[in-house]
Structure 1
Amino acid sequence: MKPRRANPLAIGAFVVAALAILVTALVVLPGRNWFNQPHRVVMFFSGSVFGLQKGAPVVFRGVRIGDVTDVTVHYDRQSDTFAIPVVAELEADAVRGLDGRADNDDIAHALPELIARGLSAQLGTQSLLTGQLYIDLDIRTTPKGKLRGGYSGDATEIPTSPTAFQALKTQLESVDLKKIVDDLSQIANSARTLIAAPELKQGLKDFAATAGHARRLAAQLEQRAAPLTRGAESALASVDRMGDKVSSAADKLGSGADKANELLDPKGPVVRDLQRAINELAQASVSLRDAADSDGPLLQQTERTMRELSQAARALRGLARSLDAQPQQLLLGRQPDSTPPVEAGK
């Protein structure tokens, strides 16, 4: 029997179909980078990562840039703690796009710069129903991410930061609820003891009595406040009147002071008149000193007048004696003396 030859057309169609299927798979299948070498990264989480599986997406602000490839558990003997290293592969083009250097083929420089700017990883929930998690990358300054170190594989470590829920959970776990309950119980017991104490009851009674006295005192003060207020108002009115009087007196004193200043002004007329009078008195004093001199004409005239007055006095005394001896002289005239008169000096 002659062997059957293969149909070249069928073989060509099979090859074309296989290539078409391969190209379609490369285009349709997501999360695979068939032409670019992915970049391996590792992230250490200290809490539970239940729900994070291989193939989980790694996103940056909602854009998928890689996939989780491995999730393991690491024990640190020195610190006696457990850590969960999560290994992922990031697309090189996506990482270069984050750094703004799409023309740089080496992305090993891009990740350190992004980490220096605050790039950190957190666990995010894909679905509340299934509980599946994913890796959320973002630039975060608060809280700042932490690097653990110590990974033996060839991967760049990205720091991790806890979510708000994880931070709250950690704080709640650190709270000693038993101690708080014990403290509240002790406070409640102390409050019951204080309330049941007789001193508190007596204190409440004393307080009630004091309140009653205070109310009565307030009523008395209110009754006496009205006349005191009226008296204070009248006193204030008197003070206002006195203030007005004092103000007017001050004004008068001010005007008097102004006049006194005018009178005492060295260049004023009063001071000039006083100076003129003082000068005239000084001239009169000089004239009196000159007149009182022993050789002055005024003193000589005075002596002459005194002698004349003395002679006139002697004549009057002689006339008086003559009239006393002969009163009729006023009618008959003076008679000649029989005897010569005796001089007064003898």
Structure 2
Amino acid sequence: MKGKVLVGMSGGVDSSVAALLLQKSGWDVVGCTLRLHLDDPSFPPREGGCCSFQDVQDARRVCYALGIDHFVFNFTELFEQKVIDNFVSEYAVGRTPNPCIRCNRWLKFGAMLRRAEELGCDAIATGHYAKVQQGPDGRWQLYASPYGKDQSYVLYSLTQKQLAHTLLPLAALPKPKVRSIAQEAGLPVAQKPDSQEICFVPDKDYAGFLCRHNGHDSTPGDFVDAKGHVLGRHRGLTHYTVGQRKGLGIAFGQPMYVTRLDTAQNQVVLGPEGSQYSRSLLADDLNWVSIPAPETPLQVQAKIRYQAKPASALASIQPDGTLLLHFAEPQRAVAPGQAVVLYDGDLLLGGGTIVKGIKE
């Protein structure tokens, strides 16, 4: 027996196959599902997702099929503090957060690791598509998965301790193979759809969620151009994000893009084609994963969104500890609040939170 591992079971096919593979390779596997928020009764049950009551039931069925114990941990209060409160406060200041990254750091690889230690487990595991490996200098490193689906971007904030106790058994598997393994093993979630939305916003209506959470919608204001000329009225800042073109609710005679959200003036700044691009960006709240913080400028490939293609850039640490990233080619829709993650090939170097895009 290799040791005891606590597997985070979302009720989906990926984490289910992760548990199966670890069991087959000789680990003593224990399953757990994190209860992160209460289901909103105004929405119908989802076929794919995570964290819902149905997902808990699906995870329990898989654990029963594998003959392993299954725990449910109630982390709703911590999730509210670390994820939802941040989501709400970031939108309030005109930023676009990524709640999955915070959930991974504080819940799935934070609180779950502490529970694993209490249960006498040697490691935790999830169904994320990425690779953890210890480097020759002893530092734990994170790699992107080379097989199509890669989730290393949302893991950039993990600490060395978290990585040292993490197993990611799907690192070398393409998604179709994972479904095939689940099907062959007769797992009840083999054909369950993947989650495509933020778990606590199942209808993808972020503005609607914020309205329900705050008890009121955001205040309408003016659309303006870069010089401050009023172009029309907007519905409230929470309805918009940097780079947005569709859904502005007003015709301008040419494509117009959101270039900035001015919370002080309650204005949405718009610009024509080309104005949504930035040559550089500034980021803070940095976490260096596979390497120590570089002392000299470093050539990297940077992703400014989960689905973005890596872009060549020069990264340099500023005297105040922030990161200045200068791109070889201008990048579209550099949104404050989103994560920028740096790579050297498949090796994830580190990342941070975008403060602002810089045009020139």
TM-score (normalised: structure 1)? 0.18
Find the structure with the greater CA-based Rg: 1
More strand by share: 2
The structure with the greater share of residues assigned to helix is 1
Higher relative contact order (CA 8 A, sep 6+): 2
